Structure 1
Amino acid sequence: MMKVKRGPWGRGSWGEAAAVLDPSKPKLTTSAMIASIASEGQRTSAAPFGEALVKVARERPDILGLTADLGKYTDLHVFGAAFPDRYYQMGMAEQNLMLAAAGLAHEGFTPFVTTYAVFAARRTYDFISQGIVEEGLNVKICCALPGLTTGYGPSHQATEDLAIFRGMPDLTIVDPCDALDIEQATQAIAAHHGPVYMRLLRGKVPLVLDEYDYRFELGKAKLLRDGAEILVISTGLMTMRALEAAQRLEADRVGVAVLHVPTIKPLDEATILREAGRTGRMVVVAENHSVIGGLGEAVAGVLLRGGVAPPRFRQVALPDAFLDAGALPTLHDRYGISAEAMAGSLRSCLQ
């Protein structure tokens, strides 16, 4: 039987079509397209982005929703159902999508644009840069399937989107961790004037940060838990993984601090330098992104420029490679971003 390693180029829900097929292994029962990262029995919230945007839009008639044939798969369909006269389905034309949003922003509207992160980063970069960001327009680009949150393979896995967008001047970049983070971040970017790129977790999104007295603030990092041996600086879903790994290491009497960095740009350098500068702790940066060009290299630059030298510095990130297609639990283990894999990485860092 042929082994399928690369995902299809289409964007529909193809079920098992993109799963890695190997007759010597048990059949995978998880669809490659399922983007939920929730563990069995974990608390979740349905469509937090769509629900939060509806709440904001009730008080803000300037807010519009635009998508490129992906309303259902970015949770923008929730907004469309509530405000059909403010919802625009642009079809499979991402470049037109961005320029249409730019035109609407010029007229005083606040467009929330959704697509997949790979399409925004790869297909529309120049249109975002020249048509939206250089003009300082109030467009919010909110993209599903960031990093390794789909099993469709390189055609759909946005493993380099942060590296692509971090170099764009004047663009705010947000990478929320869970449903609470997405809800609060959506409210915050709606209140912020200027272009924003936000990574989205969609569907039934885990809910974890409500246990940590957390409140999203644009441009601010938050220390969720303290620990004497390791400081994990994390963003996006890897903050969730870091918290899970820290709990596992408690049994080994290893103290793991977790500093959540939901805003990649502008980076909260002062908090990072303060926490990384505490004596004796090694620093591990964890992100659902390539090891190249993301939060890890951004933090390394901050530490170097700030004259802070932790005893050791490590990264937990995706490899600089085109990743396989398959079921997400398998891929997260394979590429080291599951809770179990991350706990193992942290243990090995201490040896």
Structure 2
Amino acid sequence: MAWHRLMFAVGAISVFAVIVRFIYRGYQQRRFYRNLLARRHNLDGIFYLDLWPIGPPSVILTRPELCDQPAIIKCAVRHPVADDTLTPVVGHGGIANSNGPLWKKSHTTLLPAFSWANIRSLASLMAEECMPFRNLLDKLSETGEVFSLEDVAAKLVFDIIFRIIFNFPLKAQTDGSQDLDDLRELMAFAESQSDPAVMLNPFARLKIWWRRKRIYKQLDISMTRKIRERFVALPQDESISSRRSAQSILDLMLREHLPTPSEASKERPNARNLSEVDEAVILSNIKNLLVGGHGTTTDTICFSFMLLSEAPAVVETMLQEHRDIQGPTLTAS
């Protein structure tokens, strides 16, 4: 009985050694919870993991229908780990790491951008950005050069998301992008927080902290400049008269901060300037979108190519459908 009381006092700390062993080998954390812990201990769908004093307690959900509960049916507050992981990359106040009124404000601002009507209108834009991706894959397939599909797909996704946000092409696939390099480096730093080699090495943590601080500032300066330039140009754009006519996600976020017609008629150009707080929230939401779409979509593209490489019959069926509907060549379609 005394032994059981002692085990209850230290929570599930005995599991930590197993976590370190598997995650250190590159085993994905979510797969660890689902495949190892849940199956080993016969935990069905939901269980509580207490790693005190090493880490924060967590409720682990492993079934999709249960995941809907805190995310859709009744939105729960963000776990502190989400803020600890995302804030060094995207800053404070973004939709992925905020709660309460601030989250609702970001949600209301971004909601029109994710409507089905708006998403359908972006199909041609996505197709246009996919052309450099297609040309590069054609070239690499001809030369037989070994390459990282993740790096190539990341540039494609970044080009698409960047253009949807700012409404002008970045051309990361053809010209490269310092913004993309900075963002990926910040994400790598965030992921390294769970690496025991970094967690237990103060010199490694100090080196990452110093490098991250410089990269974070560099990315913020670049993104803030784009926000301010668009905020100045937006009042002169007569086509942006409503939310429906907004040309980008950034336009949607900036419109509510523009002077009203009465303020503009009184020649009060500074009537509703973009405050530092509003600018920081907009900047954080932009980086949230870039990070959120970047990782998940890039992984999905890579996984799709991997699956299709093992199913040539499925690939041929897809190609035949394209030929039947769109024509035998790209020019014809």
What TM bracket, shorter-length normalisation? under 0.3
More strand by share: 1
TM-score, normalized by length of structure 2?
A: 0.25
More helix by share: 2
